[in-house]
Amino acid sequence: MDYRKEYQRWLDKNIMIDELQGMNTGEIEECFYKELTFGTGGIRAVMGPGPNKLNVYTIRKNTEGYARYIEDYGNKEAGVIIAYDNRLHSKEFALEAAKVLASHDIKVYLFDELRPTPELSFAVRCLKCTGGIVITASHNPPEYNGYKIYDHHGCQCVPRDTDVIIDYIKKVEDLLSIEIDESKVENIIYIGKEIDEVYYKRLLEVQERPELKKNIKIVYTPLHGTGNVAVRTMLKRLEYDVHVVKEQCTPDPNFSQTESPNPENKKSFTKSIALAKQIDADLIIATDPDCDRLGVVVKHHNSYEFLTGNQTGAILLEYLLATKKEKGTLPSNGIVFNTIVTSDLGTKVCDKYGVEVESTLTGFKYIGDKIREYKGQKTFLFGYEESYGYMIKDFTRDKDGVQSSILIAECCNYYKTLNKTLIDVLNDIYDEYGYVSDIQESKTLPGIEGQKKMEQIVNQYRYGDIKEIDDRKVVAKEDYKLSIRTDQSGETPLTLPKSNVIKLFLEDGSWIVVRPSGNEPKIKYYKNIWRKE
């Protein structure tokens, strides 16, 4: 694409003119040198003018391709449901997507206000839609927004579907010439509280010990996002003593009252920890802007301790499986799903209870898809990933911050009756299985040069002869793009879908994964390092 010509074309059509006229040469190239790519995780990108940024026109193009896909493979009458978060232009983008679909005579259900992403997943299943769209950039900075597509199971589309959808999107020739039939816009159906209440009723099923008297004090923050109503509603109905960080409850698209909208970042808890100290809270929980992730901080003695996603997952598994075993409800065919970058600590907990664990590629869509695959054969018990995503009941098919909030509150409440904090429970797990350090590091590499650098880094791990890491011998390598495992016995094929990920296994059971993000200009490193005795 000749970025100069494309830039001039937008100028000539007087599109986003104020932004265009203020751009320098480098910015023009970045915005116009290529078209925004719909990947296996949808789109997550900086908003702005041009085909390489997220705007009304790129939203229209991707939805036009999706509409054509539905015409050939979906059910137009079953319809598509659309939800959106609190970000800049989210509501506008959601309406534009709805208009494009409606112009193709596809029934559209559009939430009347912002809603959690997991509620969209639930609503697809509840209304028996042919698919769903969410406008969100999850926990990214304010300048980002995103676009995700869900299948009729309420699961974010996996490659067998997205590969086809992408082909349809690519065939949309001109994103500036997509026609909207305004006469069909009136057919968009707005939905709201009627779906909320069905979702809230199902959320009650997450409880394992509903009979327990509530004896903990909770601080909650939605970090300006969509969890504000759903999480607070459920915790109130369950009679927990909940205190909110009021200034972070407004749906502020600039996230002005938090140092970070990402509950994986300790800085996102600054205000909530201050409130917890004032009221002597037992538990602090934070959901990210689209409320599919949950971060946890726990009071332990006189301090507040931050839990990683892997630690929270192991604690929830211990509570969930121990409770089911005690009550005689632990099925013999139960299964837990995690990902190839999830710590082995939770797997060891599952081994203790005789529960099968299967690892998928990174991305909760693969967990949702496995639930579909095994339906009727195995009983789903829990799904989680290191990036603070958990699902307890499969009435959604995506990670669910509302479900997670309910279970972590019950977990904390139960162990308090045993005079234990969640840190005590974690230490018990470490004492039984050994201490593992789970570390995630990332490096942001934006733009054209950043993309080249990420490719160079991954290729160093893919083709380089790495014999040792952290004084530990490398004993095997799994390359999920080449679908090959290499160890001392030679090469064996891998059966997981292809993905640009490298995993190095070390001699003591530790491992390291290198993975370019599918949604952000970052390369990520995941480390599962067992402590040397």
DSSP three-state, residue 513: strand
**Rounded Cα distance, 181 and 50, in Å:** 23
**Rounded Cα distance, 30 and 324, in Å:** 53
Continuous segment of H or E residues that includes residue 69? helix 56-73
Q: Hey, what are 313's tokens?
A: 């997952």
Place of tokens 């095997």: 476
User: Which residues does 67 contact at the CB level (< 8 Å), separation at least 6?
Assistant: 100, 101, 103, 104, 106
Q: Which DSSP symbol is given to 387?
A: T
Q: Which DSSP symbol is given to 39?
A: B
Nearest to 116 by CA among 132, 92, 95: 132
Sign of the alpha-carbon torsion through 42, 500, 439, 478 = positive
Dihedral pair phi/psi, residue 206, rounded to 5°: -70, -25
Q: Residue 72, Cβ neighbours under 10 Å: how many? A: 8
Contact 341, 386 (CB under 8 A): yes
Nearest to 516 by CA among 529, 507, 526: 526
Tell me whether residue 138 is one of the annotated catalytic residues.
Answer: yes
Continuous segment of H or E residues that includes residue 380? strand 379-385
User: Which residues does 259 contact at the CB level (< 8 Å), separation at least 6?
Assistant: 265, 267, 268, 270
Sign of the alpha-carbon torsion through 60, 66, 70, 72 = positive
The catalytic residue among 138, 404, 499, 510 is 138
- For the chain, state the CA radius of gyration: 23
Contact 111, 83 (CB under 8 A): yes
Nearest to 371 by CA among 402, 393, 353: 393
**Rounded Cα distance, 299 and 423, in Å:** 8
Residue 425: alpha-carbon gap to chain centroid:
26
Beta partners for 358?
337
Place of tokens 């209440």: 197
Catalytic positions: 138
